[in-house]
Every structure is written in structure tokens, then in C-alpha cells.
Chain A
Amino acid sequence: MTARYKRELSALVVFGGMLAAVGIVAPSFFSAANLRDLAVNNAPVLIVATGATLVILVGQIDISVGSQFAVCAVAAGSLAKQGLPVPLLAPCILALGAAMGAVNGVLVGRLGLPSIIVTLAMLVAWRDGLRWATEGAWVQDLPPDFQWFGLGQEAGQWLIVGVALAVLLGLAWILRNLRVGRAVYAVGSDAEAARLAGLEPSRLVLGVFVAMGALTGLAALLNAVRFSSIPSNMGVGLELKAVAAVVVGGTAITGGRGRLLGTLVGAALLGTLGTALVFAGVNPFWEKALQGAIILAALVSDVALGRLEHHARPTPLHATARH
């Protein structure tokens, strides 16, 4: 049992160590209010990281999510301001995210372009397109029932965290038990072998990118409703946060190996680090350096656990056979 979860364990050990350290220095870190705030603040990142796990498992990468996040958030605000009823917002924004994901998916899955290039192009294009459209202006004067979907703060917070966890657990169950979930691992391990075994890698990759887009839209919406106005520069650097959480959680960047449980630990570790440092009284200037060190430490701990496999480079979708 422990052998199976070795990769997640190394992240969990670091996380536990950090919690223990901050628990000794500043026990008030574990107050209910702080834990609730941390959960609510990190739920949107967790949803994006969940999607990023799927994309990485299938052997691809998506670095355009930060820009898609911003587009979805601004669209959500604009639609609500136009008078779209709040319950209808969710399907609209999810569809918008899925559509943006589908652009990536078609280019990567159907046409076989390298995902890092496609999503790099989309990262720049969506961001600059949004800047062009909004000229940096915020969406303000939202209807009063926009914030927390009109549910009030307490219920709204529960809803956000609940949705994030439900998405994570639901997808984890699908990955583990359903045919389509296992296919993600098969395609991520070796697309050609999966094709010969009767799977359709290109369709699966398209589907995963659509899911990633929809999840990004969901995260953007859940993040937007925490406030009463929407800046147009949201989500800058979100893609790196998500990928870092996935990798720290033990998912192999080369695809085919990893679990959403690890992503949960990775997102929790990176998401609480900044706050823990403030509680511990550490200078905020060192936060970024520590984040980098944790990513490298997660890699090195793999060696310590003796589970290293040599993958010199990302596996392309149409990889030539490896010997």
C-alpha cells in the first residue's frame, strides 16, 4: 500500500513538516477561520490544477489557462451586468471555457501540434486580446446577487470548497475506475500502443483539453463570485502555479503516471506556503525562492525513494517508438 503512494508520500512529508514547523512557531495558523480562508482562497487554483493533472497525465501540457481564466472571469462579470440571471452564468461560462479548451484540443489532438507551442500562442493571444477589448478596465457595479451567487458569505464559501473537492474526487474516481479514465493513462504512457490497442488518442486528447477549459471556466466563476468587482488582469502566472502543484504532487511530466490525490497535496503545500511564512514571521521576500526549492526538492525526493525513471524529454503525441 505504501509502495503505491510513494510519490504522493514525499509531498505529504514535506507538507507535514511545514505544518509541524508552523504549528510550533505560530499555533494560531490552525484556527478555524484561517483554515477556512485558506481553503476558499485555494479552491480555484485546485480546480485548475485538477484539470492540469488530466492534461499532463495524457502526455500534454496547457500553459494558456491563466489567460483563459481571465477571459472567463471578465465574461462572467459582463454577462451578469447585462442582466443574465446568475443561475445561468455557470453553464455559459463553462461552455466558454470548454470552447477555448476545444481550440487547444483540436490543434493538439486532431492536428497533432505540440501542446506547449499551441498553448504558448494561446497564452499570449487571449491575454492580449482581453487587454485590447477591456483596455484594462474593471467590471464594476455588478448586480448584488452576483457575489456568492446571492447565497451569502457562509453558504457561498462552503459551495466553493465543496465544488472544488467534488470535482477532484469525482475525477479521481473516474480516472481510477472508468474505461475513459484508464484510457487517459494508456494514451499518456504510449499513444501509439494505445492506438494499436483500439483507443482513439486524438479524440481523448481533444476531450481532455475541453475538460481543462471547462474546469478553468468553473474556477474563474467560483473565484469571481468571491468579490463584487472583476479586475481584467486576473490569473497571471496561474498556469505555472497549477503545473507546479501537479508536479510537486508526484505526477510525471512525461505523462501516464500520477494521481489527483497527489495534486491535492501539491496544491495544498504550495497554496499554504505563503501564509505559513507570514505566520512564522519569515520575510516575504524569500517566498518565491522557497517555492522553487520545494519543486526541486520534490524531484530529489523521488530519487531518495528510489522511484526514478529516466525520461529525458517530454513525450510527443506521435512519439517515435522509444527503445
Chain B
Amino acid sequence: MPDPLPSTPPPATEAPWRQRWFPNNELVLLGVLLLECAVFSLTGSHFLGRANAFEVARLGVEVGLLALVMTAVIVTGGIDLSVGSMMGLAAVVLGALWRDAHWPIAAAAGAALLVGLAGGALNAAMISRLGFPPLIVTLGTFSLFRGVAEGLTRGIENYAGLPPRFLFWGQGYLAGVVPTQLLVLVAATLGCAWWLHVTKWGRALYAIGSSPEGARYAGVPVARRLFFVYVLSGLASSLAAVIYVAHLGQAKSDAGTGYELMAITAVVLGGASIFGGRGTVLGTMLGLSAIVVLQNGLRLSGQPAELAGILTGVLLVGTILVDRLSSRAAPTLPRAAEEMDVKNSQVAVVCGTILVAALVVVAGNTMLVRSLREERRRPSEPAGRPAREGGAAAGADTRKPVVAMMPKAKGDPYFISCRKGAEEAAAELGVELLWDGPTDLDPAKQNEVVEAWITRGVDVIAVSVENEVAISTVLRKARERGIKVITWDADAQKDARDFFINQATPQGIGYTLTDEAARILGGKGEFAIITASLSAANQNQWIASIKERLAAKYPGLKLVAIQPSEGDRDRAFSETQTVLKVHPNVKVIMAIAAPAVPGAAEAVKQSGRTDVKVTGLSLPNMCKPYVHSGVAESIVLWNTLDLGYLTVHAARALAGGQLAPGARELQAGRLGRIEVRGDQVMLGAPFVFNKTNIDRFDF
């Protein structure tokens, strides 16, 4: 085959080394990364160390795979928004073929990769053959792939129990220290670097990105090259999905949600031009590292994770801003030869200033807190090793025990009220309470936070589990390191924790809700459920219990619809409006997510239907106006303040040895004696709030 790119500019052998190796702002990023490491090694516990380095690397693998191919896509001047959704689809295909079709796991993984190829080919065909803008095509497939994944599984299926041989690829260690999947990322990085930077094939992509017309005249088969890039993007997404499934030990339709934005952010931070023609694999990996290290470092420093988002945004704009300002002389020729010395130093100064300013605040806070408690800390902890073996024994006298508590989602009002109770107990007992978790429901994020806590070396970890399969491996690891583990609100696998703080069983909740509905309806009639998302694990358990109770006790009650609210009050509102019109005989709306009850109640109120009542699971404060006006008949819940309070008490007792296997009861401050049943601490039965008692509660 004749050389397709005879006029490739000669590799800049005469250019200074800096321009050859770091053509964009890679040097700056390297500086930012070093700066982050320097600051966090001062502020974070056990930040510097082999173990943490490898854990950070493990967290970056899935996004890293996406970002590598995204670099190629962006270099051609395109974009692929569908990668995260493709992860969801590939994960579901893998799980379904393995569990339901009884394929061997290797064959199922292979099929998942084929699905990635096919999805990539769909994007590729529409973009390279039909010439549609990539942004719109992949926006469409972004919805399409995720939608098909949800449709196939009805949002509910959760494929777990995968064979250990497969899980090794996401959870195992090579030679005891190197996470297995890191090998995949390293191989992919080297492969991509070679492909993009060495082969004519890869260089052609830069030509396409700079000017598709020019590339065509130069003899590059533009359509064929583009086709290949998008197919590869689909393949990389499905490979990332396979690793994600092995990492979390479960396959579900929500895999990889939001990963497309993280991948694009990493690529752009790495100096790639969104208009194409510029970008390096090295830059992308540095960009990715900067983000992942920032998140990990903030967590180990006990700073709010939200800061990571703000800093990433600032960094992103700062990088391209300086890049643009320094090349302003020739705005229409952004890729003209530039004076790299000036540019790089300018970029470095501004980015550095921004980051330093932000981090100084962080460091200041943290150093202050640490210096206050450092004196009481045992001095001989080898850095990087979570030396907490036997730490619990020392908890009682030498220093404050550290209890790390995780909600399912930090922003959820339910958990905010739990936190209040937890802080009350922490103040009472003199416990240092760490409160961190995902901002939205996200099992992968929960694992990340627990990993950070293990590295940091806390005394007790208390988790409200979003997905029991996904988190149990990492909780077991925590126990191996001598950290006591409690689950609260929702349980993990039994051998992954010491105790479960049981606020109410799914059965208890489901039965109480059904009884309430039956009472309101007088034992006969239709009702509808507004749930959280269709794939929410807790809600699906409750619905199963509700159906069970209906079949056993209330043949006159009919459940006519289950609609999702996605945890969004406004969505619950419009879904309720629709349900009321489609099923005019519905007399009770049962909303089983905290924001859904006010949404549903407002919809009933605005419809003027006084014959319809709302009940469900929510927080008293949110629903007070509706309960008082009679739109909401009642809400079912336990006292969430007490739940947080009890969890911290149990954690303290566990660390101090007062709560041990075989205990029958627990002394929990103002709650008095609490029953311990086996390995569960029982908060009590769910509580029905109604007009007469709701004002007594404030949470």
C-alpha cells in the first residue's frame, strides 16, 4: 500500500526537547500534580505511600480507558458522549448472558466487547458515512444505550455472584501489591501512545483534526479513519465496563453514569484542543492523575469532596485560558509555532497561583485541626501503612477514636437528618466523626471513600450500603486491617461487617406502608407507587414486600402503576399528575422516596382531587404542610436522628470493646437500653407520623 501521508512533517528532531516531549501544557500539569502531592502529603493522612498510590491508580482505570480513546476522538475534532452509557449497556449484556443464558464468563465478557464494537459502529456509521455532527449523534446514543440497558433489565436486575476468577481482574493484586486492572491500563496507554504518536495511522488523525479537507487531499482516507476511531471508542467503553463489573462485583444498568464528562475533562485538562488536531496521551494521563489525586487527597485531608469539583472547574478554565492568552498573537492559527518558553512559564504561574490559593485554605484548615490532635496521636505510625492493628484497644484512653460514617448520598435530606443525630452523639462521647460519601447514589464512589478511610486509618467505619455486593469486598479488607465495620440503614453481606444497625427491615417497611394504604382505602381500591429510580435497590426490596403483603392479606387492593421519580421532586410531581389522569380510580398515591412525597402531595393538591390521599416514606419536616392540610394522610419512617445517634453510640461501644459478639443489649445515651439481636442492633419498629404527632418531630 502506498504511503498515505507522504508529506508528514518531519518529526521535530531539531526542536528543543521540551517541545518534542511536551508539546502542550504537560509540563504545567506535571507541576500541578507535584504541587498537589506536596500539599496533600502535608495535609492528608497516609497520602504518600505505595499502598495509596496503587489504590488511586485502581480508581482511575475505567475512566482512564475511556479517556485514552477519547483523546483520539478529540484529536480528530470529534467527541463521544455515549461512552458512559455504553458501559451500562455492556455491563448489562455481560451479566444477562452469564447468569440468565448460562454462558461461561469469558464468553459473556467477549459478547460484551462485541456489543461495544456494534455500538461504536453505529456511532461511526452515522458520523463518518452520513456526516452527522458527532455531538448530536452521540447525544442520541447517550440516551439510546442507557435506555436499552434499562429497558432490558427493567432497571431492576442486578447481576452479582460473579466467579472469583473474573473478579480478580477488578479486585485482585499482582505480586501482592499491584492492582490487576492497572496492567490493562498500562498496556492500553502504551498501545495508544504508540498508535497516536508513532504510526502513520495515528498521525493521520491529527491531520484530520487540523483540516479534514486538507487530509483528504493529502491522501488520508478520512471516513475510514474516523470510522475506526469511533468503533475503538465503543470497544474501549465495553472493556471499561468489564473491568468496572469485576471491580464492583456486580453488573447493573447504571454502570458508568457520568463517566463521559470525567473522561472529556481529563483529555481537555491534558492539553488537547476540543477543535481537534492537538492532544497527547501523556497529557491525558497527567490530566486524569491531576483529577484523581485531587479527589483522593481532599478525602484523606478530611475536606469536602465538593471542593474537588470546584477546583477541577477552575483548573480547566485556567489551563485553557492561559493557553489562549499566550497564543493570542495568532488566534486564527492556534497551532502555529509558538514560543514555548514564554507560554509554559505563564501557564505555570497562573495555574500554580490558582491552585496554591485554593490549597492554602485547605492546608490551613487541616493543619490547624491536626496540630490540635497530633499530640495525642501515637508517634510511631509508619507512613503509608494503615497501622490500625489493635488500634481499637488504644481507643479508650490515649486519643479520640475516629468514627467514619458514610451515607448513601450526602445531599439527601434523609441522611442530613441522620448526620445531625450522629453529630449529637459524637459531641456527647468525645468521638471524632468523619462524614463523607457520594453526593448522589453511586456504589463505585462508596468504595472509593472506604478505600480512602482504610488508607487514612480510622477506628470504625459505618456505612449505609448502596449495593451490598459492590461494597462487601472492600469492607472485608477494612476488617482484615483491624478496622471495626458497622453497617447502618442498609446492610452489606454478613461477613463484611461486625454489626448492622437495623432501623427497620424492608419487610417491616413494606408491610407498614401496605397496612397504611389499606387503612386509608378501607381495604378495597386502587393505588399507585411513585418510587425513586427504577434501579434503586432499597425501593425495589420494599416493593417486593408490598406485593407480598398484598397477596397475603389484602386481595381487595390493586397496585396499578409504579412510576419512577429519579429522586427528583419535580419529576414525582408530573408523574403523579399523569397517574391520576390515566388511572382515575386511584385513591392512594404511595411515594417511597423522601423527595417524592412532597412532589406527589403538591400534584394531588393542585389537581383539586380531595378524594385522593398520599402516603409514603419521607421526612416529617418536608411533609408537615401537606399532612396538616390533609393531602398527605400519613408518612412512615423511623426517627432518623435516633438512627444516626445510635450508630455513633454503637461504633464507640464497638471500638471500646463494650459491644462484642454475643452482647444482648447496648447502652445508648438518651435512647436508653437498645436490644441487640444476634449481630443486629435494633432501633425499633417503623413509626407512622400523622396530623396528631408530626409536630413533635423536627428533622
Binding site for B on A (CB under 8 A): 26, 28, 31, 33-34, 37, 41, 61, 107, 111-114, 116-118, 120-125, 127-129, 131-132, 135-138, 140, 153, 192, 223, 226-229, 231-234, 236, 240, 243-244, 247, 253-254, 274-275, 278-279, 283-293, 295-296, 299-300, 303, 308, 310-314, 316, 318, 320, 322-323
Shortest CB-to-CB span from B189 to chain A, Å, is 23
**Are A227 and B602 in contact, CB atoms less than 8 angstroms apart?**
yes
B219 in contact (CB, < 8 A): no
**Are B313 and A303 in contact, CB atoms less than 8 angstroms apart?**
no
Given that A31-B581, A284-B564, A316-B275 are known contacts, is A129 also in contact with B310, CB under 8 Å in the complex? yes
**Are B143 and A227 in contact, CB atoms less than 8 angstroms apart?**
no
Shortest CB-to-CB span from B676 to chain A, Å, is 32
Given that A117-B320, A228-B602, A285-B154 are known contacts, is A253 also in contact with B625, CB under 8 Å in the complex? no
* Set of chain B residues within 8 Å of A284, measured between Cβ atoms: 534, 563-564
**With the chains together, A230 CA to B573 CA distance in Å?**
13
* Set of chain B residues within 8 Å of A313, measured between Cβ atoms: 77-78, 133-134, 212, 275-276
* Set of chain B residues within 8 Å of A299, measured between Cβ atoms: 126, 130, 132, 136-137, 140
Shortest CB-to-CB span from B459 to chain A, Å, is 25
**With the chains together, A123 CA to B264 CA distance in Å?**
13
**With the chains together, A124 CA to B211 CA distance in Å?**
31
**Are A135 and B151 in contact, CB atoms less than 8 angstroms apart?**
no
**With the chains together, A35 CA to B622 CA distance in Å?**
29
Which residues B547-598 have CB closer than 8 A to chain A? 561, 563-564, 567-570, 573-575, 577-579, 581-582, 595, 598
**Are A296 and B569 in contact, CB atoms less than 8 angstroms apart?**
no
* Set of chain B residues within 8 Å of A274, measured between Cβ atoms: 574, 578
Shortest CB-to-CB span from A142 to chain B, Å, is 10
Given that A114-B274, A121-B316 are known contacts, is A253 also in contact with B136, CB under 8 Å in the complex? yes
Which residues B140-166 have CB closer than 8 A to chain A? 140-148, 150-151, 154-155
- Pick out which of these stretches binds chain A: B371-379, B396-404, B409-417: B409-417
Which residues B642-684 have CB closer than 8 A to chain A? none
**With the chains together, A322 CA to B574 CA distance in Å?**
46
**With the chains together, A37 CA to B316 CA distance in Å?**
41
**With the chains together, A244 CA to B367 CA distance in Å?**
47
**Are B568 and A236 in contact, CB atoms less than 8 angstroms apart?**
yes
**With the chains together, A125 CA to B409 CA distance in Å?**
19
B333 in contact (CB, < 8 A): yes
Shortest CB-to-CB span from A37 to chain B, Å, is 5
Shortest CB-to-CB span from A12 to chain B, Å, is 19
Shortest CB-to-CB span from B485 to chain A, Å, is 25
**Are B143 and A295 in contact, CB atoms less than 8 angstroms apart?**
yes
Shortest CB-to-CB span from A255 to chain B, Å, is 11
Given that A285-B150, A292-B145, A313-B78 are known contacts, is A320 also in contact with B332, CB under 8 Å in the complex? yes
**With the chains together, A52 CA to B577 CA distance in Å?**
28
**Are A129 and B306 in contact, CB atoms less than 8 angstroms apart?**
yes
* Set of chain A residues within 8 Å of B211, measured between Cβ atoms: 320
**With the chains together, A280 CA to B334 CA distance in Å?**
53
B304 in contact (CB, < 8 A): yes
* Set of chain A residues within 8 Å of B564, measured between Cβ atoms: 284
**With the chains together, A293 CA to B411 CA distance in Å?**
32
* Set of chain B residues within 8 Å of A311, measured between Cβ atoms: 131, 133
**With the chains together, A190 CA to B78 CA distance in Å?**
19
Given that A140-B622, A285-B534 are known contacts, is A131 also in contact with B439, CB under 8 Å in the complex? yes
Q: Which of A116, A234, A287 contacts B570 (CB 8 A)?
A: A234
Q: Which of A136, A227, A291 contacts B412 (CB 8 A)?
A: A136
B350 in contact (CB, < 8 A): no
**Are B150 and A138 in contact, CB atoms less than 8 angstroms apart?**
no
* Set of chain A residues within 8 Å of B317, measured between Cβ atoms: 107, 113, 117-118, 121
**With the chains together, A194 CA to B534 CA distance in Å?**
49
15 A-B pairs, CB-CB below 8 angstroms? A112-B331, A114-B320, A116-B274, A131-B411, A131-B439, A137-B416, A232-B411, A234-B570, A274-B574, A274-B578, A285-B151, A293-B140, A299-B136, A312-B78, A318-B331
- Considering the complex, give the chain B residue whose CB is closest to the CB of A236: B568
**With the chains together, A116 CA to B264 CA distance in Å?**
10
* Set of chain A residues within 8 Å of B275, measured between Cβ atoms: 114, 313-314, 316
B381 in contact (CB, < 8 A): no
**Are A288 and B581 in contact, CB atoms less than 8 angstroms apart?**
no
**With the chains together, A112 CA to B145 CA distance in Å?**
34
Given that A131-B306, A292-B141 are known contacts, is A125 also in contact with B563, CB under 8 Å in the complex? no
* Set of chain A residues within 8 Å of B135, measured between Cβ atoms: 61, 253, 314
**With the chains together, A113 CA to B273 CA distance in Å?**
10
Q: Which of A120, A275, A293, A323 contacts B265 (CB 8 A)?
A: A120
Given that A227-B602, A285-B154 are known contacts, is A135 also in contact with B145, CB under 8 Å in the complex? no
Nearest 5 A/B pairs, CB to CB: A289-B147, A292-B144, A128-B309, A136-B411, A125-B313
**With the chains together, A283 CA to B440 CA distance in Å?**
25
**With the chains together, A292 CA to B137 CA distance in Å?**
9
Q: Which of A125, A247, A316 contacts B139 (CB 8 A)?
A: A247
B544 in contact (CB, < 8 A): no
Shortest CB-to-CB span from A101 to chain B, Å, is 15
**With the chains together, A266 CA to B317 CA distance in Å?**
32
**With the chains together, A223 CA to B595 CA distance in Å?**
16
- Other contacts beyond A121-B314, A128-B313, A296-B140: 4, CB < 8 A: A114-B274, A128-B308, A129-B306, A292-B140
* Set of chain A residues within 8 Å of B568, measured between Cβ atoms: 231, 233-234, 236
B5 in contact (CB, < 8 A): no
B394 in contact (CB, < 8 A): no
B346 in contact (CB, < 8 A): no
Given that A132-B304, A136-B413, A323-B213 are known contacts, is A223 also in contact with B581, CB under 8 Å in the complex? no
* Set of chain B residues within 8 Å of A318, measured between Cβ atoms: 331-332, 334
- Considering the complex, give the chain A residue whose CB is closest to the CB of B209: A313
* Set of chain A residues within 8 Å of B78, measured between Cβ atoms: 312-313
**Are A125 and B581 in contact, CB atoms less than 8 angstroms apart?**
no
Shortest CB-to-CB span from B415 to chain A, Å, is 8
**With the chains together, A295 CA to B141 CA distance in Å?**
9
**Are A278 and B582 in contact, CB atoms less than 8 angstroms apart?**
yes
Given that A135-B410, A138-B413, A227-B569 are known contacts, is A121 also in contact with B274, CB under 8 Å in the complex? no
Residue-wise, chain B 437-454 has the 8 Å CB interface mask toward A (1 for contact) of: 001100000000000000
